[in-house]
Structure 1
Amino acid sequence: MADRPAESPVRLAAETWESLFRAQVAVMRRLQSGPAFKSIALNEYDVLFTLSRCPSGWLRLNELNDHILLSQSSLSRMVERLEKRGLVERMPAPDDGRGVLLKLTEAGSELQKQIGRIHVRDIEALMTPSLTAAEQRELLRLTEKLRGAVARH
């Protein structure tokens, strides 16, 4: 086997990032086209899902924004639409006049669960033929390691 020139750390990082990003785009496009997202957009579901994981039931809008890949203004408009549909409820934060607290309504919780059941089956149908269980665990370990490192910086 011929010796390969040493790979630049910058090039390797860029290629790794691009591969991760392209894989995520391909997976998200496939999932968005599935049956789970006929009644609600994937990014709207992401809001419902994130709120469903909040132990207190309420989450600050700015904390929700930390978990969603949208600008603050886009998220605010989306929350308004979800509120008009009766899926989320909001109220002023009691300790901060400018803050907003959000929670799922009963209808929002039911829709999140209904879509979530379909969504996880779609994810499994996509992941299982593509990656072995060991590869999925390794990918999970690596992505959690990357996320943790980014969060510490």
Structure 2
Amino acid sequence: MSVDREAEDPVVLQEAVLQEALRGFVRAFGLHQPESTPCGQPIPVSEAHALGELARSGELRQVELARRLRLQKSTVSRLVGQLTDRGWVERGPARDDGRGVVLRLSPAGQRVAHNLAEARREKFSRLLTSIPAHERPGVLHALRVLTEALDE
């Protein structure tokens, strides 16, 4: 396909618009800055997500944490090591399996997770109020559709 035909192809144009819109969103939301969260906390994004999952569940096996975060087991193993070194995560025996190991937040990890959750709540509250009320259902729908498309 020639450059001129590509420029006229509506699908190619839509792909370019989608790419630019997502690029703009990633940058505006701060997702290209992996050493701090979009809500401004000086914690790597992957660590914040892991803390959030553990806070939500109470305890998880490492393989389940990997599944929820959509990360490779080896990546989560390093991540858990970092969180353990920081004193935020503890390993303990699984209640249903004496040989199994689960991850839990330490008291320090619970405080960090609480602070992250509060910063996230404030950020999303500000963000939501910045979106006109009549546009909110469409924005939420578009995010669900994008997530489902990425899951395919």
TM-score (norm 2): 0.69
Cα gap change, 1:69 to 1:128, in 2 (>3 Å) = farther
The answer on 1:84 being equivalent to 2:88 is: no
1:45-69 deviations in Å (ceiling 9; x for gaps):
1111111222xx2222222223336
Number of equivalences: 142
The answer on 1:16 being equivalent to 2:18 is: yes
In structure 2, C-alpha distance between the alignment counterparts of 1:139 and 1:28, rounded to whole Å: 18
The ranges of structure 1 where at least 4 consecutive aligned residues each deviate by more than 4 angstroms after the TM superposition are 33-36, 92-97
Structure-2 residue corresponding to 1:47:
50
Given that 2:29 and 2:38 are in contact with CA atoms closer than 8 Å, whether structure 1 keeps it comes out as no
In structure 1, C-alpha distance between the alignment counterparts of 2:74 and 2:16, rounded to whole Å: 30
In structure 2, C-alpha distance between the alignment counterparts of 1:68 and 1:149, rounded to whole Å: 17
Cα gap change, 1:24 to 1:35, in 2 (>3 Å) = closer
1:106-117 alignment to 2 at 5 Å?
106-117=107-118
Q: Residue 102 of structure 1 aligns to a residue in which SS? A: strand
The answer on 1:141 being equivalent to 2:141 is: yes
| Percent identity (aligned) | 30
Q: Larger relative contact order (C-alpha < 8 A, sep ≥ 6)?
A: 1
Q: Residue 66 of structure 1 aligns to a residue in which SS? A: helix
In structure 1, C-alpha distance between the alignment counterparts of 2:129 and 2:87, rounded to whole Å: 35
Given that 2:37 and 2:48 are in contact with CA atoms closer than 8 Å, whether structure 1 keeps it comes out as no
1:71-121 deviations in Å (ceiling 9; x for gaps):
432321121121122211224666596x75322223212221122212321
Q: Which runs of 5+ in 1 are unaligned?
A: none
In structure 1, C-alpha distance between the alignment counterparts of 2:25 and 2:116, rounded to whole Å: 23
Structure-1 residue corresponding to 2:74:
73
Cα gap change, 1:35 to 1:134, in 2 (>3 Å) = closer
Given that 1:36 and 1:115 are in contact with CA atoms closer than 8 Å, whether structure 2 keeps it comes out as no
Q: Residue 103 of structure 1 aligns to a residue in which SS? A: strand
Cα gap change, 1:33 to 1:96, in 2 (>3 Å) = closer
In structure 2, C-alpha distance between the alignment counterparts of 1:100 and 1:21, rounded to whole Å: 39
Structure-1 residue corresponding to 2:3:
none
Q: Residue 103 of structure 2 aligns to a residue in which SS? A: strand
Structure-2 residue corresponding to 1:132:
132
Structure-2 residue corresponding to 1:64:
65
Q: Which runs of 5+ in 2 are unaligned?
A: 1-7
| Superposed displacement of residue 140, structure 1 | 1.3
Structure-1 residue corresponding to 2:41:
37
